[in-house]
Amino acid sequence: MERYFVRPETVDRIRRSWIADAIEQYVKWLDEQHYDERCVLRRVPILVRFGDFARGRGARKVAALPRHVDAFVQAWTSTRADRVTEARLAKASQEIRGPIEQMLRVVVPGSVGSRSGRQLLDPFTKEAPGFFRYLREERGLTETTVAHHAHYLRAFEQYLARIKIRRLRDLTPVVLSAFVVDRASLLGKCGMRDQCGSIRIFLRYLYRERRIRRDLSDAVEQPRSYRHSSIPRSVTWDEVRRVLAAVDRRSTTGRRDYAILLLLVTYGLRAREVAALTLDDVDWKRERLRVPERKAGHSTAYPLSTIVGNALIEYLQRGRPKTVDRRIFFRVLAPHLPITHSAVSCRATHYLRKAGVLVSRAGSHTLRHTCAQRLVDADFSLKEIGDYLGHRSADSTRVYTKVAVETLRKVALGDGEAIV
């Protein structure tokens, strides 16, 4: 504690707290996770106040602390409600709650706190307890697909709770139609297709298990979605240069993000593939980049571009945290965990918007499509483009025929007799 607090009386005051041992354990954990010193200085006083508050409400053991968190946050916000806006108050209350619940997760076994909402429970666990086991075991769906079904069914569960339908046996075609209309204002065409598909699967399962009296799946009409009805959302190479120029490579974040953007646009990698890269995937001696476990179930080896290699070296030497983990890309802020695929896509979105590049659904796939567009413009065959991008089938690559501008122009200018 003396390492962070200069004044001895401050350290003594902290150690007089009845939860001093828990605070010391938490500070040690923060240090191991490489949290900034300012973070420790800001959080410890909050924890001391929380300990005093819980003690005043009868807490005598650390294990009893979780039940006093809500009351402490409410008491804290009530004294400031008339001084700040509602939005700032909500943000500040989370800044108070966050350190307390994080400490409790470290020192109290099994404590999860309100942030456990990130680990959402499967919907309809009481009414249809075997549904997700059915998806995994009988249908053999991947965890990613199961999570998508859970996401859409969670929205359905919340809707039923909102309109006060507590039993699945009370479902009717009218209720299902009303739900579809309600979701249509929030989702696009593909989102509605997936939403309706999940509901139809769920309803067929309920009927099979006799949880509902009749099969209602036909009451949910799935909107038509035509393959290749849209064109890839690529950007021009001049816009790519603007995006790369928008990265401040003087910072750790900038060096990491610059390498990520180059991987996305040079090799057309997916966000998941970038996030999963490890130090073992870069063969510096042979100048090769290996991308294992692609979506199609195979791996791909690319020549390591000099520009990409230099960007990786710059990040590895002057940005990547010291860790035994073999992943390449990590969070900049503590805890220094491997970056997720969502973060990769968010960083791509950030720089596209920062550079003023206007594109629908900006994200990592924008740069993947841009890579494909470059290959199309260079007259590579669809087979070569599909192999380069790691497509599972030729159908996935066929959409790029719609952006082969020069080829389409020749077709349009022809007399039609030669086109067979």
CA distance 283 to 94: 44
CA distance 347 to 257: 7
Q: What is the pLDDT of residue 48?
A: 95
Q: What is the CATH number of the domain that holds 341?
A: 1.10.443.10
| Nearest in space to 274 (alpha carbons), one of 147, 393, 363, 362 | 363
Chosen domain end from 168, 191, 219: 219
295 is catalytic: yes
**Token code pair at residue 27:** 């500070």
Chosen domain end from 116, 151, 171: 116
User: Both 98 and 156 in a single domain?
Assistant: no
Residue range 41-97, pLDDT digits in tens: 999 999 999 999 999 999 999 999 999 999 999 888 887 666 667 777 778 888 899
Among the listed residues 205, 267, 351, 400, the single catalytic one is 400
For 270-336, give the secondary structure using H, E and C.
Answer: CHHHHHHCEHHHEECCCCEEEECCCCCCCCEEEECCHHHHHHHHHHHHHCCCCCCCCECCECCCCCC
User: Both 151 and 23 in a single domain?
Assistant: no
Among the listed residues 270, 294, 320, 374, the single catalytic one is 270
Q: Is 204 inside a domain boundary?
A: yes
**Token code pair at residue 6:** 């200069």
User: Both 60 and 207 in a single domain?
Assistant: no
Q: What is the CATH number of the domain that holds 154?
A: 1.10.150
User: Both 263 and 323 in a single domain?
Assistant: yes
| 34 band by pLDDT with thresholds 50, 70 and 90 | confident
Q: Is 231 inside a domain boundary?
A: no
400 is catalytic: yes
User: Both 284 and 367 in a single domain?
Assistant: yes
Among the listed residues 295, 383, 402, 409, the single catalytic one is 295
Among the listed residues 97, 320, 368, 369, the single catalytic one is 368
Q: Is 1 inside a domain boundary?
A: no
User: Both 401 and 266 in a single domain?
Assistant: yes
Q: Is 228 inside a domain boundary?
A: no
Residues 6+ apart with CB under 8 A from 172: 216
Residue range 289-335, pLDDT digits in tens: 999 878 767 788 999 999 999 999 999 999 999 889 999 999 998 88
CB atoms within 10 A of CB 225: 12
pTM above 0.75, yes or no: no
User: Both 278 and 403 in a single domain?
Assistant: yes
- What total number of domains does the chain contain? 3
Q: Is 388 inside a domain boundary?
A: yes
User: Both 280 and 381 in a single domain?
Assistant: yes
391 is catalytic: yes
Do 5 and 11 form a contact (C-beta atoms < 8 A)? yes
Q: Which domain covers residue 197, as residue numbers? A: 131-219
Pairing mode, strands 282-283 and 288-291: antiparallel
Chosen domain end from 50, 83, 116: 116
User: Both 82 and 135 in a single domain?
Assistant: no
149 is catalytic: no
